[in-house]
């Protein structure tokens, strides 16, 4: 099935569950997005750093909240404090909260389905 | 026989003087004088006259007499002779000489001798009279001045200095004058003019110059005071005096003192000065005596006045006591000690017994006692005698025969030998006091009854109760439960501090010990604090540690003052243990929620996403597509079950499903829910009926969507496929009503009451088959969401009407 997505860009998927992370990454890649992955907040910052060296920046971060090492809240606090990163839109996916926390543009409640995932990502990447 | 008158005067001198003395003694002034003093210078005078007669005509009579007539005149003046007596002396002497001459010589004297004799006697008489007169004049003047000086002052201290000043002014030769007064065996210098003696100095009688004069009571004259053996006083010896003369001051044989005068310039004092001094001393003596008498009289008068004043005062005191005795409201009776007869009673005593005082006087004390009380009287009398004072109560008798209780205080009075002579009793009618006492007893009994009732009420209370009084916190009362809770026996009425000290390990929940005044009951007693449900840890006697809730409050009197405080104590040890267990369970549940919501959903979401993605792939064969479809449907069922389980757990452990109200329109929620159901049940007919009115309100749209979805899902599942499911909205004012209706078989009546219990499922699997079946939590969650909105849900089910779930949702949260 072909899914056309306007405005293809790069997405950073931050999720500690490896299967879910891989499933999301596959779906997004199949839809034509460039996907980077990270296991937790700290790993994500590291990815940001590497991309930065290459002069790149993700157009969107899909962020899980409950993660070991550095959770989604701490990651958002870091991003907000960094002028170079604070403009990157963040969409959180979580099972435990019902409203997007401060710093997040939107939220996907787990478990989410493919159309909602693609609509949401496409909305931000199209803008970016 | 002598031949001349001159010889006769010399040879017959003794006979002449004896004859003269015999005649002179007839004069009163001469009677007291000794022979020597009486004769004085007269024998010498006769010798001088005889010499003059022989020397005739060479001798000059006027100048040949020497000082004899002068001195004699002064002596006589000093001895109190008047002028006529002085003249009479000379006249008698002349007569005696001539008479004896005539009788013994038998011849007349020669004319020349006779002339000289008369001339000499005349001259002596004239000289004496002149001298006497002059000296008396001076003395009189001095005495007059003394009298004048004495007039101004009645006291010795005032007049003596003036006297001495007069003396010094009158006698030119005097440099020092002093008066010493006798004080027992001593002479004390009372007053001094000039230098040489210190006022206040003392000399013993009999010693020294002054003491000798005092002891001998004779005047004494020394010519060189600095060296004379008579003068032993150091001050007198060193005063630079030469002539020193002292006279005793004697009145009626009593020695009052000694007067002294001294001269620095001269070793001699003239006879006239000595005479004058003696005269002045005599006058001073009289005045001194008078002054002393005055002083004594003044003192006596003062004493008399004082004693009179005392007497008056004591009379006034006596009158006052009489007054008190008469007017006193307390009965007073005076009784003889030996026969107990009433000697005197005051009006109050008589009145209380119904008599007049006169009626009672003389009667036995016994008459005032009730006959039944008289037996004890001897005992009281004996006690009063032995103890001096004795108090007792007894029954008294009135004149009219009635009785009254009385309180008596008896005091015994003793004479010098210690024997009791009389007793005085004060008697108080205590009828009133007795009545008050009876009232008090009644009141006490009532209070005791109240107390007993309170105690039994308290014992029935399920809580431990303490009552402590202000201000010290003495424990007044506790109930049985206190003992049961603490396992410690109580001693009521022991101060709270004692009690709290006996259980010192009362602790705050965090383990800090309580200070005694920090405990709730003491805080109420001391500060009026109201304590509600303070938790503390209490050690039991058996070593167990209890958790108790203590409440306390002050008890105030009408004026708001704290009089006591009451505390209740409830043992919540078990409750706390249960709460603790529940808390632990809740925490466990929370963890379970976290696991379910997060950890399970991640793999589930991965399955769902992957299966869906696979279904979208075009390479799957039909068989594999069925397998993947089954996979996706099972994952979806699992998602719903997890969701329901999560809501159920939240509802049970977290105090209900959380509701987040946002302003919205319930019609939109219903339409969305219906659309989703239509998508899931495309072959079924769903109807929405919206009545007129408002549908805005504050609600949690996501949760309401769950309600619509669950109720609609149930209706679709249990209703026959050919019948529609109807959603009906209506405006009910403050609330909105949603009804979901389906036809078909009704719900069995026995199931209706437990329709909303968790883990319930319908008896028929419904038309959706096992694939749609959940955990049986759907209706439970619906009810929780409705309740979370403050609303209610009812179900009605009947064969003809079908089944209707009716949800009433208030527009706003309850206040």
Residue B450: φ, ψ to 5°: -60, -45
pLDDT score of B194: 81
Could you tell me the strand order of the sheet in which A60-64 lies? A34-38, A10-14, A60-64, A90-94, A106-109
Express the helix, strand and coil content of chain A in percent, nearest 5 each.
40, 20, 40
Specify whether B594 is located in the same domain as B721.
Answer: no
Tens of pLDDT, residues B633-647: 888 888 888 888 778
Q: Which residues of B touch A110 (CB under 8 A)?
A: 598, 601-602, 605
* Domain termination site, one of B591, B620, B654: B654
Would the pLDDT of B766 be above 70?
no
CB atoms under 10 Å from CB of B218, counted, come to 12
User: How far B591 CA lies from chain A's nearest CA (Å)?
Assistant: 12
Angle at B354 between CA B350 and CA B356, to 5 degrees: 45
**Residue B93: which of B36, B49, B136, B31 has the closest Cα?**
B49
pLDDT score of B496: 53
Among A92-106, B16-30, B338-352, B699-713, where is mean pLDDT lowest? A92-106
* Inter-chain touch A114–B606, beta carbons under 8 Å: no
Among A98-107, B50-59, B440-449, where is mean pLDDT lowest? B50-59
Would the pLDDT of B543 be above 50?
yes
* Inter-chain touch A98–B597, beta carbons under 8 Å: no
* Inter-chain touch B605–A66, beta carbons under 8 Å: no
B317 three-state secondary structure: helix
pLDDT-based confidence at B175, cuts 50/70/90? confident
Q: Choose the closest CB to B601 out of A27, A95, A114.
A: A95
Expressed as residue numbers, the domain containing B354 is: 328-429
Strand ranges in B666-785 using DSSP code E only, listed in sequence order: 686-690, 696-699, 725-732, 735-742
* Inter-chain touch A17–B603, beta carbons under 8 Å: yes
Tens of pLDDT, residues B516-527: 788 888 899 889
Q: Which residues of B touch A22 (CB under 8 A)?
A: 606
Q: Is A29 on the interface with B (CB under 8 A)?
A: no
CB distance B217 to B297 below 8 Å: no
Tens of pLDDT, residues B362-401: 999 999 999 999 999 999 988 888 887 899 999 999 999 9
SS (H, E, C) B629-665: HHHHHHHHHHHHHHHHHHHHHHHHHCCCCCCCCEEEE
Among B155-169, B309-323, B445-459, B753-767, where is mean pLDDT lowest? B753-767
Place of tokens 């383990």: B511
Q: Is the ipTM of this complex over 0.85?
A: no
Window B:557-596, CB contacts with A under 8 Å: 594
In a domain, B434, yes or no: no
Sign, Cα dihedral of B338, B341, B346, B349 = positive
Specify whether B381 is located in the same domain as B408.
Answer: yes
Window A:62-121, CB contacts with B under 8 Å: 66, 94-96, 98, 110-114, 117
Q: What is the CATH classification number for the domain harbouring A74? A: 3.40.50.2300
* Domain termination site, one of B511, B540, B567: B567
CB distance B147 to B85 below 8 Å: no
Sign, Cα dihedral of A37, A42, A46, A49 = positive
Q: What is the CATH classification number for the domain harbouring B261? A: 3.30.450.40
Q: What is the CATH classification number for the domain harbouring B721? A: 3.30.565.10
Would the pLDDT of B486 be above 80?
no
pLDDT score of B594: 66
Could you tell me the strand order of the sheet in which B464-469 lies? B474-478, B464-469, B562-571, B545-556, B531-539
Indicate the angle between helix axes B601-616 and A114-127, nearest 10 degrees: 90
> What mean pLDDT do residues B701-712 have?
92
Specify whether B680 is located in the same domain as B793.
Answer: yes
pLDDT score of B337: 86
B35 three-state secondary structure: helix
pLDDT-based confidence at B529, cuts 50/70/90? very high
* Inter-chain touch B613–A114, beta carbons under 8 Å: yes
Q: Chains A and B: how many Cβ contacts under 8 Å?
A: 57
d(CA B445, CA B557): 21
Would the pLDDT of B769 be above 50?
no
pLDDT-based confidence at B693, cuts 50/70/90? very high
Specify whether B354 is located in the same domain as B483.
Answer: no
In a domain, A7, yes or no: no
Among B494-508, B511-525, B718-732, where is mean pLDDT lowest? B494-508
In a domain, B42, yes or no: yes
In a domain, B308, yes or no: no
Q: Is B26 on the interface with A (CB under 8 A)?
A: no
Among B194-208, B506-520, B742-756, B768-782, where is mean pLDDT lowest? B768-782
B91 three-state secondary structure: helix
Specify whether B690 is located in the same domain as B799.
Answer: yes
pLDDT-based confidence at B762, cuts 50/70/90? low
Would the pLDDT of B85 be above 60?
yes
CB atoms under 10 Å from CB of B590, counted, come to 14
Window B:625-654, CB contacts with A under 8 Å: 639
> What mean pLDDT do residues B91-103 have?
87
Q: Which residues of B touch A19 (CB under 8 A)?
A: 602-603, 606, 610
Tens of pLDDT, residues B332-364: 999 998 888 999 999 999 999 999 999 999 999
In a domain, A8, yes or no: no
* Inter-chain touch A1–B616, beta carbons under 8 Å: yes
Arithmetic mean of pLDDT over chain B:
84
Percentage of residues of chain B with pLDDT beyond 90: 20
pLDDT score of B615: 86
pLDDT score of B774: 64
User: How far A83 CA lies from chain B's nearest CA (Å)?
Assistant: 32
pLDDT score of B101: 85
> What mean pLDDT do residues B714-721 have?
91
> What mean pLDDT do residues A9-13 have?
88
CB atoms under 10 Å from CB of B88, counted, come to 18
* Domain termination site, one of B567, B582, B611: B567
Place of tokens 């006091």: B433
In a domain, A104, yes or no: yes
In a domain, B754, yes or no: yes
In a domain, B445, yes or no: no
In a domain, B381, yes or no: yes
Specify whether B597 is located in the same domain as B690.
Answer: no
Q: Which residues of B touch A117 (CB under 8 A)?
A: 609
* Inter-chain touch A95–B617, beta carbons under 8 Å: no
The residue that leads in pLDDT, B685 or B768, is B685
Specify whether B519 is located in the same domain as B490.
Answer: yes
Indicate the angle between helix axes B83-105 and B111-151, nearest 10 degrees: 160
CB distance A63 to A91 below 8 Å: yes
Element (H, E) at B112: helix B111-151
Q: What is the CATH classification number for the domain harbouring B392? A: 3.30.450.20
User: How far B744 CA lies from chain A's nearest CA (Å)?
Assistant: 35
**Residue B180: which of B263, B196, B171 has the closest Cα?**
B196
In a domain, A41, yes or no: yes
d(CA B686, CA B726): 6
CB distance B464 to B568 below 8 Å: yes
The number of domains in chain B is 6
In a domain, A94, yes or no: yes
SS (H, E, C) chain A: CCCCCCCCCEEEEECCCHHHHHHHHHHHHHCCCEEEEECCHHHHHHHHHHHHHCCCCCCEEEEECCCCCCCHHHHHHHHHHCCCCCCCCEEEEECCCCCCCCCCCEEEECCCCHHHHHHHHHHHHHHC
pLDDT score of B767: 40
pLDDT score of B504: 52
User: How far A19 CA lies from chain B's nearest CA (Å)?
Assistant: 6
> What mean pLDDT do residues B756-785 have?
67
Specify whether B662 is located in the same domain as B772.
Answer: yes
In a domain, A29, yes or no: yes
Element (H, E) at B244: strand B243-251
Specify whether B55 is located in the same domain as B73.
Answer: yes
In a domain, B307, yes or no: no
Q: What's the distance, Cα to Cα, between the start and end of chain A in Å?
A: 25
Tens of pLDDT, residues B6-45: 888 888 888 888 989 988 888 888 888 888 888 888 888 8
The residue that leads in pLDDT, B79 or B492, is B79
Tens of pLDDT, residues B578-599: 888 888 887 787 777 667 666 7
Q: Choose the closest CB to A20 out of B594, B605, B616.
A: B605
Mutate to test the interface with B, among A1, A2, A4, A23 (most CBs of B within 10 A): A23
pLDDT score of A6: 36
Q: Is A27 on the interface with B (CB under 8 A)?
A: yes
Place of tokens 């399955």: B607
User: How far A84 CA lies from chain B's nearest CA (Å)?
Assistant: 31
The residue that leads in pLDDT, B586 or B323, is B323
Expressed as residue numbers, the domain containing A106 is: 15-127
**Beta strand pairing status for A106-109 and A90-94?**
parallel
pLDDT-based confidence at B654, cuts 50/70/90? low
pLDDT score of B771: 41
Specify whether B670 is located in the same domain as B792.
Answer: yes
Specify whether B174 is located in the same domain as B124.
Answer: no
The residue that leads in pLDDT, B747 or B493, is B747
> What mean pLDDT do residues A81-96 have?
85
The number of domains in chain A is 1
Specify whether B279 is located in the same domain as B262.
Answer: yes
């Amino acid at each position: 099935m072909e899914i056309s997505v306007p405005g293809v860009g790069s997405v950073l998927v931050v999720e500690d569950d490896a299967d879910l992370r891989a499933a999301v990454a596959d779906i997004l890649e199949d839809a034509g997005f460039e996907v980077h992955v990270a296991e937790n907040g700290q790993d994500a910052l590291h990815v940001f750093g590497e991309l930065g060296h290459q002069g790149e920046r993700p157009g969107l971060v899909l962020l899980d909240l409950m993660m070991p090492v550095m959770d989604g809240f701490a990651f958002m606090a870091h991003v907000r404090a960094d002028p170079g990163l604070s403009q990157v839109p963040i969409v959180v996916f979580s099972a435990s909260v019902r409203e997007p926390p401060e710093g997040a543009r939107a939220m996907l409640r787990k478990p989410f389905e493919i159309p909602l995932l693609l609509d949401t990502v496409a909305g931000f990447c199209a803008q970016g | 026989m002598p031949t001349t008158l001159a010889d006769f005067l010399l040879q017959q001198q003794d006979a002449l003087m004896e004859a003269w003395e015999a005649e002179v003694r007839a004069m009163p002034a001469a009677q007291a004088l000794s022979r020597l003093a009486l004769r004085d210078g007269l024998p010498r005078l006769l010798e001088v006259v005889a010499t003059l007669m022989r020397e005739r005509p060479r001798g000059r009579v006027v100048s040949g007499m020497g000082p004899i007539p002068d001195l004699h005149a002064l002596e006589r003046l000093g001895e109190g002779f008047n002028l006529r007596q002085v003249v009479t002396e000379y006249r008698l002497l002349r007569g005696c000489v001539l008479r004896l001459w005539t009788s013994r010589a038998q011849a007349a004297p020669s004319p020349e001798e006779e002339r000289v004799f008369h001339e000499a006697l005349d001259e002596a008489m004239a000289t004496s009279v002149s001298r006497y007169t002059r000296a008396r004049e001076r003395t009189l003047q001095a005495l007059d001045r003394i009298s004048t000086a004495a007039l101004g002052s009645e006291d010795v201290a005032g007049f003596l200095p003036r006297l001495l000043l007069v003396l010094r002014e009158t006698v030119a030769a005097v440099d020092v004058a002093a008066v010493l007064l006798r004080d027992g065996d001593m002479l004390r210098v009372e007053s001094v003019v000039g230098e040489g003696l210190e006022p206040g100095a003392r000399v013993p009688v009999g010693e020294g110059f002054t003491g000798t004069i005092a002891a001998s009571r004779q005047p004494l004259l020394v010519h060189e005071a600095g060296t004379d053996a008579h003068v032993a006083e150091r001050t007198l010896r060193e005063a630079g005096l030469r002539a020193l003369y002292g006279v005793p001051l004697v009145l009626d044989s009593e020695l009052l003192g000694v007067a002294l005068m001294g001269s620095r310039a001269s070793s001699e004092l003239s006879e006239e000065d000595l005479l004058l001094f003696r005269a002045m001393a005599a006058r001073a003596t009289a005045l001194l005596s008078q002054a002393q008498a005055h002083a004594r009289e003044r003192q006596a008068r003062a004493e008399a006045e004082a004693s009179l004043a005392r007497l008056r005062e004591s009379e006034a005191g006596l009158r006052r006591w009489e007054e008190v005795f008469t007017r006193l409201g307390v009965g007073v009776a005076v009784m003889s000690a030996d026969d107990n007869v009433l000697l005197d009673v005051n009006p109050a005593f008589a009145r209380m017994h119904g008599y007049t005082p006169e009626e009672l006087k003389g009667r036995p004390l016994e008459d005032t006692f009730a006959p039944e009380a008289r037996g004890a009287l001897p005992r009281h009398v004996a006690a009063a005698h032995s103890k001096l004072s004795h108090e007792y109560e007894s029954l008294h008798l009135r004149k009219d025969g009635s009785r009254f209780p009385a309180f008596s205080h008896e005091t015994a009075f003793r004479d010098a030998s210690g024997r009791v002579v009389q007793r005085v009793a004060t008697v108080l009618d205590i009828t009133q006091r007795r009545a008050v006492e009876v009232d008090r007893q009644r009141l006490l009994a009532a209070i005791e009854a109240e107390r007993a009732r309170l105690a039994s009420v308290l014992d029935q209370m399920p809580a431990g109760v303490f009552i402590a009084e202000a201000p010290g916190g003495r424990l007044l009362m506790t109930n049985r439960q206190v003992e049961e809770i603490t396992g410690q026996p109580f001693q009521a009425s022991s101060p709270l501090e004692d009690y709290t000290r006996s259980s010192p390990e009362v602790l705050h929940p965090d383990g800090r010990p309580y200070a005694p005044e920090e405990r709730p009951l003491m805080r109420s007693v001391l500060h009026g604090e109201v304590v509600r449900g303070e938790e503390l840890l209490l050690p039991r006697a058996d070593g167990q540690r209890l958790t108790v809730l203590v409440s306390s409050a002050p008890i105030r009197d009408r004026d708001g003052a704290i009089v006591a405080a009451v505390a209740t104590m409830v043992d919540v040890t078990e409750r706390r243990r249960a709460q603790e267990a529940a808390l632990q369970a809740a925490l466990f549940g929370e963890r379970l929620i976290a696991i379910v919501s997060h950890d399970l959903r991640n793999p589930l979401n991965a399955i769902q996403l992957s299966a869906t993605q696979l279904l979208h792939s075009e390479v799957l064969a039909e068989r594999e597509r069925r397998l993947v479809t089954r996979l996706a449907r099972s994952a979806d069922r699992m998602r719903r079950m997890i969701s329901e389980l999560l809501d159920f757990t939240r509802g049970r452990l977290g105090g209900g499903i959380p509701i987040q109200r946002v302003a919205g329109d319930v019609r939109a929620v219903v339409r969305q829910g219906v659309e989703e159901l239509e998508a899931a049940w495309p072959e079924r007919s769903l109807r929405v009926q919206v009545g007129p009115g408002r549908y805005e309100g504050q609600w949690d749209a996501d949760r309401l969507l769950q309600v619509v979805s669950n109720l609609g899902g149930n209706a679709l599942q249990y209703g026959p496929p050919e019948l529609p499911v109807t959603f009906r909205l209506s405006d009910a004012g403050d609330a909105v009503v949603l009804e979901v209706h389906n036809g078909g078989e009704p719900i069995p009546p026995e199931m209706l009451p437990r329709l909303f219990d968790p883990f319930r499922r319908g008896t028929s699997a419904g038309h959706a088959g096992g694939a749609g079946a959940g955990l049986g939590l759907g209706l439970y969650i619906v009810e929780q969401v409705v309740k979370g909105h403050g609303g209610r849900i009812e179900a009605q089910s009947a064969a003809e009407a079908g089944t209707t779930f009716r949800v009433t949702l208030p527009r706003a949260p309850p206040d």
